[in-house]
Amino acid sequence: MRRRARTMILLAAGLLTATGAMAEPLKVMTFNVRYASDEGAQRWAVRRPVMVELIRRAAPDVIGTQELLQRQGDDLIRALPGYRWFGRDRMGGHANEHMGIFYRPDRLTLIEHGDFWLSDTPDVVGSQSWDTDLPRMANWAVFETKEAKPHRFLFLDTHLAHRDEDAEARDKAAGLILSRLPALAKNLPVVVAGDMNARPDTAAYRRFAAVLTDAWGSAKRREGPEMTFHDFTGTADRRIDYIFLRGFRAESIATDTYHRGKTYPSDHFPIEATLTFDR
């Protein structure tokens, strides 16, 4: 009887794994890392070890960053060799700010990736429209999980225009991103992450929320402050960083306020979400 019971348990475990019921959750993060500077109290040399420790503790599977300079990305990879990163900067090279995407190759396989610019000519490198003062872009990738029943999903990372007078540009950029999702994702689950520079009462936010699910509002568990931008003070006064979803359930979401004394890794708090696939 004991041998039969053990056999039934093993068969049940195998069935659960085969059907994906025991699939591990996916951990995603969006993080405006604040571009590196070599001057002042918030210089990169001071912030870097705190950022490394934050990422090590959170251990996300994929991170969408904003304002990343190449040397920051390379520093983080040297300190966190379990990650890889990719992406061009806003001018199509590597001398400016990137929407760099980091991922764990032990957990995910990178299937394909690309980028486009938030403008009337999105396939023109470095293009800008709508009276923005800087080119803005989106970086995207299709990943496949490494598990018994692999899942593919689209991860898109972006950083919308920041000035008060850029409200229309943010709205148009949101519309452009959403218009590109059908071709990029097809029927795959989607994560859209980034610093949207848009509060929840804005047109850009409403445009995203009409098509995708705001992970903060839908998560079963929430931790930390809802606000995300704190300007190195530790006291955030606006919510402008988001994770939007399609085809996922947010099991939990957290605003990560990790710091050491008065040193914060960035002027934004990163957002971390633990997701499960709808199917």
> Which range among 14-23, 191-200, 256-265 shows the weakest confidence by mean pLDDT?
14-23
> Going from the N-terminus, what domains does the chain have, and what CATH number goes with each?
24-277 (3.60.10.10)
Provide the pLDDT confidence category of residue 135 given band limits of 50, 70 and 90. very high
Q: Is the pLDDT of residue 131 over 60?
A: yes
CA-CA distances (angstroms) from residue 198 to 47, 134, 179, 195, 206?
A: 26, 17, 19, 8, 10
Q: Which tens digit of pLDDT belongs to each residue from 59-105?
A: 999 999 999 999 999 999 999 999 999 999 999 999 999 999 999 99
Contact 174, 204 (CB under 8 A): yes
Closest CA to 175 of 230, 129, 222, 232: 129
Q: What is the mean pLDDT of the chain?
A: 93
Range 184-207 average pLDDT = 98
The count of other CB atoms within 10 Å of the CB of residue 58 is: 16
